[in-house]
Amino acid sequence: MGIWDVNQKTFYLRNNQLVAGYLQGPNTKLEEKIDVVPIEPHAMFLGIHGGKLCLACVKSGDEIKLGLEPVNITDLNSSKEEDKRFAFIRSDSGPTTSFESAACPGWFLCTALETDQPVGLTNTPQDAVQVTKFYFQQDQ
């Protein structure tokens, strides 16, 4: 699946971190496709690198952030409590989609307005400094 934010930034890996930016020319091959395993009508696991790295909501003390964990997406089980951090709830609004963490309600996948910044999670989705709406397209 292709994913890009409403400002047309695509996802790619830099130093083992998922970032969003404008890839041009030969760099377009760095774009990460998102691997999806649906678990409920509106919930899914999200992975990259052929489903070998999965997006997760990671709690560290009072901090909540997006993590990439080396887990095979097909090994995840939605009925296991420890796998809940990998689940995201998809909400469609017209042509755009937002992704809310199932383990951390109220936290949404986001990108920064600036280019080449890490993809993260925000609990202020209305805040103008982050982008929480994405175009999500199944590869034809």
Q: Summarize pLDDT for 15-67 with one digit per residue, the tens.
A: 999 999 999 999 999 999 999 999 998 999 999 999 999 999 999 888 999 99
Q: Residue written as tokens 């951390």?
A: 104
pLDDT at 139: 60
CATH number of 2-137: 2.80.10.50, 1.20.1250.20, 1.10.10.10, 2.60.120.10?
Answer: 2.80.10.50
pLDDT digits (tens, 9 = 90+) for 83-101: 999 999 999 999 999 999 9
The DSSP string of 70-139 is: ---GGG--TTSGGGGGGEEEEEEETTEEEEEESSSTT-EEEEESSTTEE-EEES-TT-TTEE--EEEE--
Domain residue spans of the chain? 2-137
Pairing of strands 35-38, 120-122: unpaired
Give the model's confidence band at 129: pLDDT under 50 very low, under 70 low, under 90 confident, else very high: confident
Q: pTM of the prediction?
A: 0.94
